[in-house]
Amino acid sequence: MARTLLALATVGVVALTGGGVVAGVAAAAPGTGSLDLGAPLGTPQVTEPCGLDTDSDGLWLKVKDATVKTPKAGNRVEPVPTQPTRLYAVRNGNDPGGPEDKLLLPVDRVAGIECHLAWSTSFPNLWSVAWTEAKKELPANADVVLGINSQTTRRLHQMHIHMTRVYAPARQAIIAADKAGKVGSGISAWKTHDPIAIPVKKDPTLKERLFRVARVSSLPNLFESLEKTVGAAAMPNQMIAVIGAPGGGYYVLSSDSGIPHGGTSTTDHLFAFAR
């Protein structure tokens, strides 16, 4: 029986104001939604921030009650290495051009980034697990990106981290910004440094979007890190992405559509397969 994770309070959406202005970049527009599994935008949101065991969300039903021995169709289910009583599933996404879009999902009911349980110290560090899985699932030469969309832009309402190839110009721009001293070390850089303009793929509104970027040597629970940065009320509108840094370590990105002049709440346009 899948464990039901209930929220104790409803979390509202608050636009976050971030620092930094990029000349010539137009006003932000909300993201256009996740590319996985094709559910239409505007489908009913779950009524509890963490979701209910009885919800009929299509992605949740694919992992509900899945176990290592009985993973259900399309899933590979594994225990979290550091918390073996907690399970996660790996399955294909819906990359229109090939097999290089994978998803990692908790088997517990967790609707998404807005669920307060994901920010807790007891929540499994799915980011570290997802990076390890991406390196196994994707080609050896792939420049990996992990990404999760906001509640306001995703199509489906069971937490899922995308594991795919990064849009190459985006990674190149981050590396250049790092060399120019614009990327700080440690998660605190999300607060201490201005957002960086990064090229995005096939965004219908802008050629660049603004992201908070920090360089870290290891991956913490980024849900917890982001909530400490922006506050609980802002979490439903946030996105998170992880890209490998040259020489080791990671670039961790966050953004939301409330950042003036180019913020975004979707990771989709950082993906090489973005339509």
CA distances for 27 relative to 105, 142, 151, 190, 243, angstroms: 33, 33, 21, 21, 26
Instruction: Say if residues 128 and 63 touch (Cβ distance below 8 Å).
Output: no
Distance in angstroms (rounded) separating the CA atoms of residues 238 and 157: 15
**Per-position DSSP letters for 180-237, written without gaps between them:** TT-SEESTTHHHHS--EEEE-SS-SS-SEEEEEEEEESS---HHHHHHHHH-GGGGGG
Residue 60's H or E segment, with its range, is helix 58-63
pLDDT in tens, 153-203: 999 999 999 999 999 999 999 999 999 999 999 999 999 999 999 999 999
Phi-psi category of 65—alpha, beta or left, where left has phi over 0 and alpha has psi -120 to 50? left
Domains of the chain from N-terminus onward: 58-270 (3.30.428.30)
Q: Which residues pair with 254 in a beta bridge?
A: 212, 240
What is the distance between the alpha carbons of residues 222 and 233, in angstroms, rounded to a whole number?
A: 16
Q: In tens digits, what is the pLDDT along the chain, a chain of 275 residues?
A: 444 443 333 333 333 333 333 333 333 333 333 333 333 444 444 457 899 999 999 999 999 999 999 999 999 999 999 999 999 999 999 765 567 889 999 999 999 999 999 999 999 999 999 999 999 999 999 999 999 999 999 999 999 999 999 999 999 999 999 999 999 999 999 999 999 999 999 999 999 999 999 999 999 999 999 999 999 999 999 999 999 999 999 999 999 999 999 999 999 999 998 76
Rounded to the nearest 5°, which phi and psi values hold at 60?
A: -60, -45
DSSP 247: T
Q: pTM of this prediction? A: 0.83
Task: Write down the pLDDT at residue 274.
Answer: 75
Residue 239: which H helix or E strand, with range? strand 238-244
Q: What is the pLDDT of residue 96?
A: 56
Which contacts of 179-184 are long-range, i.e. CB under 8 A and separated by 24 or more positions? Answer: 182/213, 183/213, 183/214, 183/215, 183/251, 184/214, 184/215
Q: Give residue 128's identity as a one-letter amino acid code.
A: S
125 Cβ neighbours under 8 A, 6+ residues apart:
80, 82, 219, 220, 221
Biggest alpha carbon–alpha carbon distance for the chain: 55
